[in-house]
């Protein structure tokens, strides 16, 4: 077992009576491990962060939810990918187990990112199997263990779970994805993998709460949700999982990663949305009990 340079994951338990509500922020980590060995600059690497997303949703524990956040950066290793989603081009030697790299991995954004964009490779070297294993054992696996534990605990206790998988997105998301769009990027993109990962009432509630606050909201365009909600969201088993993407200029300067004047108003709005989610979960849970 290898050790991380710092706590890989922060778990904020419910401050009062617990609800079957779990929130996780896999990409807001800002601590860069000493063995990263990247050629790209810190400013370039930070473009991959969902900076401050955990802070935007900081009301969650006070409302009875568990809030889990990664402290390491997603470009180092991404908790929202499967372990088979590893890019063989990164490696100095062949990986000993079967791999199944997906489309994002071919673009350089798999389990371990290879490049920020076409012009910006992250490394000027290949990674050894030992350093990839260290990233998995010391960072990726502790994150998944903490999230699984929280999901299991509430599912055992309440017979159900509602899960919010929290992210933010660059203002030029369509360009980065190489997609044309007839409309501008929405303020919020809710992803349920085209209706597969949660009950329709759950996504409808959050969409309505955000629209009430004056935000534009899209569903599954351009992000549908990736590994975490696919794994956790099983509505037939009373496991409801939804991805929430926030357009970054609403709350931060994308170049400096500093919070802007929009941060506090957005956090206040999200705290109110979370209170509505908590009320919904309380009613749904009572109906199941």
Q: Which is nearer to Zn ion, 20 or 29 (CB)?
A: 29
Q: Report the SS3 class of residue 177.
A: coil
How far apart CA 229 and CA 191 sit, in angstroms, is: 9
Q: Which is nearer to Zn ion, 50 or 54 (CB)?
A: 50
CB contact at 8 A, 41 and 121: no
CB of 224 to Zn ion, least distance (A): 13
Q: Which residue is nearest to Zn ion (CB)?
A: 167
CB of 283 to Zn ion, least distance (A): 30
Beta bridge partners of 9: 70
Q: Which is nearer to Zn ion, 27 or 240 (CB)?
A: 27
Q: Which is nearer to Zn ion, 146 or 281 (CB)?
A: 146
CB contact at 8 A, 242 and 196: no
CB of 50 to Zn ion, least distance (A): 4
Q: 84 vs 26, 99, 192, 210, CA distance in Å?
A: 18, 5, 22, 35
Q: Which is nearer to Zn ion, 167 or 240 (CB)?
A: 167
Q: Which is nearer to Zn ion, 50 or 187 (CB)?
A: 50
CB of 235 to Zn ion, least distance (A): 23
CB of 26 to Zn ion, least distance (A): 6
CB of 47 to Zn ion, least distance (A): 12
- Positions touching Zn ion (CB under 5 A) are 27, 50, 167
How far apart CA 112 and CA 123 sit, in angstroms, is: 11
Q: 30-36 contacts: CB < 8 A, separation 24 or more? A: 30/71, 30/73, 31/5, 31/6, 31/71, 31/72, 31/73, 32/72, 32/73, 32/76, 33/4, 33/5, 33/6, 33/72, 33/76, 33/135, 33/139, 34/5, 35/5, 35/131, 35/134, 36/76
CB of 71 to Zn ion, least distance (A): 15
Positive/negative CA dihedral, 212, 215, 221, 224: negative
Q: Which is nearer to Zn ion, 22 or 278 (CB)?
A: 22
Write the burial class of residue 153 (CB in 10 Å: 0-12 exposed, 13-18 middle, 19+ buried).
middle
């Amino acid at each position: 077992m290898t050790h991380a340079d710092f706590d890989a994951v922060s778990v904020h338990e419910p401050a009062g009576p617990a609800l079957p509500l779990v929130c996780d922020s896999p990409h807001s980590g800002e601590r860069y491990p000493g063995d990263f060995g990247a050629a790209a600059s810190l400013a370039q690497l930070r473009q991959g962060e969902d900076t401050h997303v955990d802070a935007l949703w900081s009301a969650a524990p006070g409302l009875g939810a568990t809030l889990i956040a990664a402290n390491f950066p997603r470009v180092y290793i991404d908790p929202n990918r499967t372990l088979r989603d590893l890019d063989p081009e990164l490696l100095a030697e062949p990986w000993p187990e079967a791999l199944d790299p997906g489309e994002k991995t071919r673009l350089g954004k798999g389990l371990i990112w290879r490049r920020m964009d076409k012009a910006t490779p992250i490394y000027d070297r290949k990674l050894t199997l030992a350093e990839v294993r260290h990233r998995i054992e010391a960072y990726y696996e502790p994150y998944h263990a903490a999230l699984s534990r929280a999901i299991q605990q509430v599912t055992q206790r309440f017979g159900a779970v509602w899960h919010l998988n929290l992210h933010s997105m660059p203002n030029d998301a369509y360009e980065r994805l190489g997609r044309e769009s007839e409309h501008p990027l929405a303020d919020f993109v809710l992803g349920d993998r085209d209706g597969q990962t949660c009950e329709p009432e759950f996504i409808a509630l959050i969409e309505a709460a955000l629209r009430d606050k004056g935000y534009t909201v899209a569903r599954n365009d351009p992000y549908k949700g990736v590994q975490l909600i696919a794994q956790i969201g099983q509505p037939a088993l009373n496991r409801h999982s939804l991805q929430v993407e926030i357009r970054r200029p609403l709350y931060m300067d994308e170049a400096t990663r500093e919070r802007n004047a929009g941060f506090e108003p957005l956090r206040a709005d999200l705290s109110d949305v979370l209170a509505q989610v908590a009320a919904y979960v309380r009613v749904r849970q009572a109906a199941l009990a």
